Every structure is written in C-alpha cells, then in structure tokens.
Structure 1
Amino acid sequence: MGRWEPNARGRLERAALDLYLERGFEQTTVAEIAGRAGLTERTFFRYFADKREVLFWGSAALQEHLVDAVAGAPDCLAPIDVIAGAVEVAGERMQERREGARRRQAVIVANAELRERELIKLANLSAALAGALRERGVDDPAASLAAEAGIAVFKIAFQRWIDDDDRDLTSLIRESFGDLKAVTAGT
C-alpha cells in the first residue's frame, strides 16, 4: 500500500461502482474493490458490512433527513404536502450526485438481489415517513397513503432525473407531485 490518502469511504465507493459496472456486481470481490481503491480488505470492512452496503450505506441518513423534514413542517399543511416538502428536501441533498446516482442505479437495475434490496429500502423509507406523520397526529390510513404516494412520486422523479441531463431533481419532484394531485383530482 502507498502512503495514506484521505476519503477512504469515497475511494472504496468509486472503486466498487467502477468494478460493478465493468465486471458485474456478482463477479466483483471485496478484495478487488479494496485493491482498486489502494486499501486493504480490513479497511473496506471498517466502512461497509459487505459489498452491497457500498450501494446502500446512505439509506439511514436519507431516512433521518426525511423524518426530520416531516417533523419540522408547519402544522397547517396537509399530510401529502408535508411529505412533498420532505421529499423535496431529500431531492435538494441529492442534486449534486446525479452521475453517482446514475451509476448506482445501473448496477442495481442489472441485479435482481439489488433490486429487491432497493425495494426494501424504499419500503423502509415509506414506513418511516408514515410513522413521522403519525407522530404529527395524522391517523391511518391517511399517514400510510401519503407516505406511500410520496415514495412513489420520489421513484418516478428520481428515474426521470437520472434519465434527463437538463432538469434538476427538486423541480421534477414538484412536477411529479403536481401530476399526482391532477390524477387524484380527476383532471
């Protein structure tokens, strides 16, 4: 190993994504990821429990930001508007990571196990949002419906964002929530 360089987590993440895209997720080993990053396997396991976690390690932080945004929303807002605001906050945080998001999504789409893990992550986000709405006094089924709708909107806006170079994620989220409201209003 060479001299110490900063940002081991970022280097491991870049190396893993490069290898996953070059060779495939299943064919890539932790040793290869660490080697490409100029680090040891032991260092890899300081940051990630396994090679899947390279793709999902930010889920807890995303969930925390979403829940905090719901908790901090004005009391006068309808549940769907609280969720829309929270999802927009998440979109703002992700805006600078478009290329990484594209690469990550390409790896996930190519692997059934990773697609399943992504769906579990989204279900957990929805459950956390519904729980945050319940903390605000929103009863079910309204809390669950608003949370599920918010995650559906996020998924659609996110896919549009990684497919489109010209639009920012926050505006796509707003537009998609507008589309949802139009669909549910019957217009």
Structure 2
Amino acid sequence: MPRSGAQARRRLQQAALDLYRERGFDQTTAADIAARAGVNERTFFRHFPDKREVLFDGEADLRAALTRYVAEAPDGLRPVQVLLHAFSKAARILEDNRPFSEPRLELIAATPALRERDLAKAAAMADAVAEALRGRGIPDRLADLTAQTGWATFHHAAQAWIDDPSPGLEAHLLQSFDALQALFAAAQPTTANRQD
C-alpha cells in the first residue's frame, strides 16, 4: 500500500468518500479514513488539514486554472463571455474527475458541515475570479458582480451535468450561460418604463 505521494492522496480521498457514504460524515474520523486507505493517521494529516478538506482537494488547482483562463481569454469579450471561456476550458478538470465529483456533491448536499465549507470555498473562488477580471481592466463592482453571477451559473451547469452527463459539461455551460444572457436581456428596462 502506498504511504505517501499522489497515490496515497488518491487512496485517502476514495477511502473518505466511501466511508462518508457508508457511515456518514459525522461518524467517520480521520483515523478511520487512514486505516481504510492503508496508511497511518499522521500520513492523513500530511495531506489534509482535516476530514472536510479531503472532499475539496483540487480546489486550488481549479482556482489557478480559472484565473489563468480568465487572463488568457481573447480581447474584446464581454465579462460574462470571458467567464464562459474560462469555465469551458476548466470543464475538462471536472469531467476527468466525474466518478469522484458526483458522490461528492451528494454528500455535500446532505451534510451541513460540508455545505458550510462548500460555501466558503465558493466565495473564495468567486473572489479569485473577480480579481482575475479586475486584472483585465474590468471595474471593481462589475468584476465582483460578474464573478458571483458567473460562479452561480457554473454551479447550475455542473448540477445539470451531474443529473444528465450525456451532452457533456461544456454543453450544459453553454445552455446555462445562454439562459443567463436571455434573463439579462429580458430584464433590460425600456425607455417607456424606466423611471429617472
């Protein structure tokens, strides 16, 4: 059994996921996860600071990829189009990890402590995306609003993809961002009903 490195990390993640599904998050300890993975508890804590973080591994990689893709987006795109570009490029990361992502999302939805951590991670991700948008010259408030709205739209698409994987995550992203843009277009006040 591997005791360190990427292989041990993956075994710890899978062990945690299996145990959380079998016993529940609250009833599973870091020692239980380590034992299931065939490593000692000290090895667990070398890889993860606590038992919640096992399910959020990869968040830093996704954040780095998204901010890079925002920075690299072609010039001339509107802010929401920049995010669609970035999320579409990052979709491969999630698609490659689907066997872990699907049960992970179910666990998060069913576990208050994990939902709380997920919300904190989502806020940090939106902040990072907003900062990347500001790096493209988008004003502060618009960058924040675009990042928050874009992240919510991304989550909507990811859930649709979990429910129906056949068209692929990128197709769900396109549908969700099209719906968002249609919603914005429908919400535009006309000259007749705008009050100055």
**TM-score normalized by structure 1?**
0.94
Displacement of 1:4:
6.2
4+ runs of 1 displaced by more than 3 Å? 2-6
Q: 1:3–1:97: structure 2 CA closer, same or farther, 3 Å change rule?
A: closer
Return the alpha-carbon distance in structure 1 between the equivalents of residues 116 and 33 of structure 2. Answer: 23
Task: Return the index of the structure with the highest Cα Rg.
Answer: 2
Flag the structure with more relative contact order, 1 or 2, with Cα contacts below 8 A and sequence separation at least 6.
Answer: 1
- Structure 2 counterpart of 1:64: 64
Displacement of 1:161:
1.0
- Structure 1 counterpart of 2:150: 150
- Structure 1 counterpart of 2:116: 116
Return the alpha-carbon distance in structure 1 between the equivalents of residues 72 and 3 of structure 2. Answer: 41
Return the alpha-carbon distance in structure 1 between the equivalents of residues 4 and 53 of structure 2. Answer: 22
Helix, strand or coil at the partner of 1:51: coil
Q: 1:29–1:184: structure 2 CA closer, same or farther, 3 Å change rule?
A: same
| 2:68 counterpart letter in structure 1 | D
Q: 1:135–1:4: structure 2 CA closer, same or farther, 3 Å change rule?
A: closer
TM-align CA RMSD: 1.7
Return the alpha-carbon distance in structure 2 between the equivalents of residues 98 and 92 of structure 1. Answer: 10
Equivalent residues, number: 186
1:1-187 matches, cutoff 5 A: 7-186=7-186
8 Å CA contact retained: 2:153, 2:177: yes
Aligned-residue sequence identity (percent) comes to 47
Displacement of 1:3:
7.5
Return the alpha-carbon distance in structure 1 between the equivalents of residues 46 and 2 of structure 2. Answer: 19
| 2:49 counterpart letter in structure 1 | A
Helix, strand or coil at the partner of 1:75: coil
